[in-house]
Chains A and B, each alone.
Chain A
């Protein structure tokens, strides 16, 4: 600026000077000065532009270098240590980890079908006495109730009758044999008497058998009560367990079709789970499972698959599987809903490279990760993702064991990469 001012001043003074002398010189001088000014200003302005272009060229040159280093592909990001730390980039070596993808299935807890007894009266009659109520623990053979049955009276009568007949037949046989040995009567009569005894014996055995069916030991009974009134019939439990249901009421008329008690052994329960088609391949009989319920959120119960259904339910497209679970302290209640976690690893220990979801990013429809190739250099690498396991992802291909993968901050690296596509990182264009 000041230079320009001086220039103007100079022009003025020169003009005045020359003007005093003559016209021609003045003209020439003025022309010359104007020319000088023109040339100067042109130079100044072009110089500044050239400088700019030079800088541009320099940048372009550097960019070329930059590109060469990357074989023309924008897959490498440089990020200083500080920047890595500031933006939370973390690196971990890829390692093989046991792959275990537990299957979760919804389930319903049921009674163990092998440990349940529905108890009803052996015959019809009237309940006289009830000895057990809901919740009682019972042992095998324990009487739960007694009832009076007209059938028993009938049986007793039949028994007495057939017993008398049998006695008569035996006596008759004895007599006929004596008569035959004395050759008084023909052998035919002995045979007939023997026949009659056999028939009467069979009748008696039949009559005794009826007692057995009614659950009464007739011999004992006969010992105790010599022909008094007829006895009560007991309803007994065939298994040990607890009475989980009682429908019997005193004085009720009972019949064999109507269950009076349900006794179940709750120390073991069944958990029925629905297995989806996709998981079938990973499950077999004997696989250990964990059962959890909403009731005991912090507790889980161990069990194993005891049976895998043979038929697929057409409606639900699932196969039923049965899990046996110990229920020693009776926490699980039949009817509860539960979640069964099947640890499928038990079968074959698979190993795979697992990465956190955060480490893998999408570009288009492909998956990539960043591999640290030098302390401040990251390379983008395509991977093939396998199954997901919670928030971790199985990597099938693309990285090898031991390579350093950016497990955190992949997003930042991707951003930097994308920015690099736009703007050369050394360029002053940003």
Chain B
């Protein structure tokens, strides 16, 4: 059937040309329309349940909120993990689902259980679901720039103004951009209408704070009075009573005595001010700033969304939308990294293609043949793009990387066909009709080439079964390679034969210079190998032993870190640090960082500056720093070294600990593993004090192990609290309720919003509070006046015990157990050996009581899972190859002969990894699987030729010799083309090259040895296998 199809295409050349043009046109269109991203979205399927419980301590919330919610979520189907963080007033439960669950379905499941959970939590606790999170979400970050006044008081007004602009002008505009999920604003102050009540004036008029509070609420309403019909007209009746400005608030009447009204004006000062804030933002270590982070919807295409956002920003800046002098200035733009990483692979792709063509020409020594391949290659790529577009696979670092890897393989079939057709044409000249010759030549290599392609394509299939991050990253790669291979297979049947007939001409074979030398070198070696099988096998065996030994010494890691061109740094201080102090120290830290000329911008966000989901307190500061493009760096310094220098520089600042990461990497670690670093040791147990004490010990042990940096143990206690313990017997004496006292604390100290003031569509809270000096010290709070039912005033101190203590900061739980985490990053060492050493040292030095245990998470957990999976995938791939080989040869022994090539491929791969100082990571493992496919292909081509010659009746020795010589060129070509196509990737230094480098290293190294040994060992041992086969047949 295949023969008939090929014959048909050979006859209908016009059809083929049309088909090719079609592929070109649709392919180009698909490429243009292909969604492009830096990275596949590796975020797991997770739903957050966020509960706010004002005023409850972490322990209370854990018991009354977190635990019931966890219990309610238990037993949901397909849950992979459940973790939670409980802080003062806040509980976040994260339910992680298996990857095959649809996110919206997962949210639906959680939502159903939430109703049940809500009933169990105390009244007044708000339980809600968090937004759909994705690690790829933060695509665009900007600050607002204007003329910052120098006067501190004016600065506050200015920053308040900026925040208002950000919140009410920019956010709505940017939110309307398609693909934007939300805008997280940060920095500055929140505008607030403040009613500052003077206690002595309240006393004078006999009014309580609560009176003021409720008066505002009661005097701010519009009502509808339905309709009034008057003659032929119909009027809508409105009762207008909304507060419009400060004056309206001032004029609210509190009470009237003897015809003299007392209004708010008499007891309070009403002004526009700023709310108490729990965070701030600093740009470049100089001034405070206000800005926003544009969050992308899950599953959107970041390049497109960024483009649209940037367009909108340009519009806002140019169209006079913002007040005079204020501009949006972006500092982080995801499209930069997308562009950089895509250009890295594109470069590898193009350079690889060019190298391949040069090599091809040198080996084939035929311009016409090269032209056929030159046409076949882009056609295959374009055909792949069409399928990718149809299948909805985005073009990213991994999928394009897959294409770059497969260049060598996809043109393999074409090369084999072209080479064989050329040889036949040259050999037979014009003896037969050209069509017949071509058809015969094509059919001759049909079986091995199709099987070869299929084998390689199949080896990628098991990779699809990888889970988690590695699955999401290497899945697209495997699929793309498989698609590309199938596309080339399709072309090799439909298009290449026709191209051969169009372009190739019979001409006397001028053997290429290289091939001539290769042949001359190969023959004596082959003879030697065939004569001294044991020596050759011995040498190979020795190398194998050495490489197996080396394999055990290889460091292990999950996936190499990709350079994002930016860094994300967390600075943490002791819990409970005041915002002012935190700002002072961070300003200092940021200024230190800014001393590095390689840094373009650095923006630090201290504490909670807008996102209510943020569990960060003022003790935590998150920095995003953007590096200048590497070409502008004055020094020749590696990113790693630069980071280390930054670490050293920050080391000199007293009172902080810090950790470096990168924006995307950090978000991935956070969402997937619940840590913001590469590695986390989780200590599980019941008693917080034991956990805290043991974790400190563990951290101390870890600090002595080489390679660990950015060590940070979760702080569970040390949050200062000022507690007001209300004495029930005392308030009973005055006839007060607990809530009477609490309301005063709430209003007077916290400044509670009594109502909202609407300015057009913006609304601002109207907060009632006491003047600064009446609430800013322990003394002042002790002396807060509580008004009793009889109208007398009692200081708070008489009703409650007011004291300062340190209490819990946060409690983390995972899968229903309390845990404490110690995070760290690893530099200059592989994770595997670090963990092994740490495990051993901790085991020896830290005794854990019964019921307490350690687990290792983060990248290490991923690596373990990936490696376990790869332990199955590897043999599965080999099994599949074996099956295909058997289908091809119908002979177990010949299949085994070809498979025996694999160990030799291993040698080169391991040596290459070891010598280049790389670690055994997931990409390296994937590289091995790819390598197996290519290596088998070589063996297959060789063995099938020899067995073909044997069937033609040649004598064993002669068949081996002739077959090997015949196939020297294709094997060398396949191997060298694969090697050369990967060389750019091996040598590339751009963003994202880190991930594919191990893969390329393994394939190149492995191909080198496997080709060499294929050419020598397979011929030399062929006789053994055939003999056995003959014996078996007899």
Contacts and interface: CB of A to CB of B under 8 A. Distances in A.
Contacts of B710: 430
Nearest to A389: B779
A49 B654 CA distance: 33
B696 A422 contact: yes
Contacts of B584: 88
Interface string B633-669: 0000000000000010001111111000000000000
Interface in B756-814: 777-779, 783, 790, 792-795, 797-798, 804-806
A15 B546 CA distance: 17
A379 to B, nearest CB: 16
Contacts of B200: 106, 294, 337, 339
Given A317-B798, A339-B200, A365-B805, A422 B574 contact: no
Interface stretch (A35-43, A199-207, A263-271): A35-43
A15 B539 contact: yes
B628 interface: no
Given A315-B792, A388-B779, A363 B702 contact: no
A399 B655 CA distance: 24
A38 B653 contact: no
Interface stretch (B133-141, B370-378, B528-536): B528-536
Interface string B520-540: 000000001000101100110
Given A59-B704, A363-B806, A427-B704, A390 B777 contact: yes
A294 B266 CA distance: 13
Given A415-B574, A429-B703, A429-B705, A337 B538 contact: no
Given A315-B792, A415-B574, A26 B532 contact: yes
A419 B711 CA distance: 10
Contact of A422 (B652, B703, B778, B795): B703
Contacts of B705: 56, 429
Interface string A328-365: 00000000010100000000000000000100001111
Contacts of A11: 539
Interface in B387-429: none
Contacts of B964: none
A79 B584 CA distance: 18
Nearest to B803: A365
A411 B574 contact: yes
Contact of B711 (A37, A52, A84, A423): A423
B27 interface: no
Nearest to B806: A362
B806 A365 contact: yes
Interface string B191-216: 00000000011011000000000000
Contacts of A363: 718, 806
A31 B541 CA distance: 9
Interface in A399-430: 411-416, 418-419, 421-424, 427-430
A11 B538 CA distance: 13
B119 to A, nearest CB: 36
Contacts of B201: 294
B581 interface: yes
A23 B704 contact: no
Contact of A41 (B549, B699, B778, B794): B549
Nearest to A418: B574
Interface string A64-105: 000000000000000100111011110000000000000010
B588 interface: yes
A223 interface: no
Nearest to B525: A16
Interface in A158-189: none
A424 B704 contact: yes
A139 interface: no
B611 interface: no
B703 A4 contact: no
A191 interface: no
Contacts of A416: 654-655
Nearest to A412: B655
Nearest to B780: A390
Interface in B90-131: none
Nearest to A45: B553
Contacts of A411: 574, 577, 581, 655
A280 interface: no
A45 B829 CA distance: 13
B535 A430 contact: no
A224 to B, nearest CB: 49
A388 B778 contact: yes
B915 interface: yes
Given A19-B532, A41-B550, A339-B200, A429 B702 contact: yes
B4 to A, nearest CB: 50
Interface string B169-193: 0000000000000000000000000
B553 A41 contact: yes
Question: Looking at A1, A27, A411, which has the most chain B CB atoms within 10 Å of its CB?
Answer: A411
Query: Which of A1, A106, A391, A430 has most chain B Cβ within 10 Å?
Result: A430
Contacts of B550: 41
Interface residues of B, number: 70
From B538, B696, B709, B911, residue with most partner A Cβ within 10 Å: B538
B543 interface: yes
B573 A415 contact: yes
A130 interface: no
Given A315-B790, A415-B656, A418-B718, A30 B704 contact: no
Contacts of B794: 316-317
A391 B777 contact: yes
Contact of B654 (A30, A63, A412, A424): A412
Interface string B694-709: 0010011011111111
Contacts of A192: none
B545 interface: yes
A55 interface: yes
B597 interface: no
A60 interface: yes
B432 to A, nearest CB: 44
Given A415-B654, A415-B655, A30 B711 contact: no
Given A34-B543, A415-B574, A418-B574, A60 B704 contact: yes
A301 interface: no
A26 B806 CA distance: 77
A42 B706 contact: no
A83 B652 contact: yes
A278 B797 CA distance: 10
Contact of B534 (A23, A59, A89, A414): A23
Given A4-B915, A106-B200, A365-B806, A429 B790 contact: no
Contacts of B699: 422-423
Contacts of B696: 421-422
A87 to B, nearest CB: 4
Given A41-B550, A362-B805, A390 B203 contact: no
A427 B709 CA distance: 11
A276 interface: yes
Nearest to B588: A86
A407 to B, nearest CB: 15
Nearest to B783: A104
A350 to B, nearest CB: 18
A416 B797 CA distance: 35
A34 B553 CA distance: 17
Interface of B: 200-201, 203-204, 528, 532, 534-535, 538-539, 542-543, 545-546, 549-550, 553, 573-574, 577, 581, 584-585, 588, 647, 651-657, 696, 699-700, 702-713, 717-718, 720, 777-779, 783, 790, 792-795, 797-798, 804-806, 829, 833, 911, 914-916
Given A411-B577, A428-B706, 5 more contacts: A23-B534, A23-B535, A31-B538, A364-B717, A424-B703
8 contacts: A27-B534, A42-B549, A42-B553, A276-B798, A357-B777, A412-B585, A422-B699, A429-B708
Q: Which 8 A-B pairs have the closest CB atoms?
A: A429-B703, A34-B542, A415-B655, A412-B655, A423-B703, A365-B805, A87-B654, A52-B706
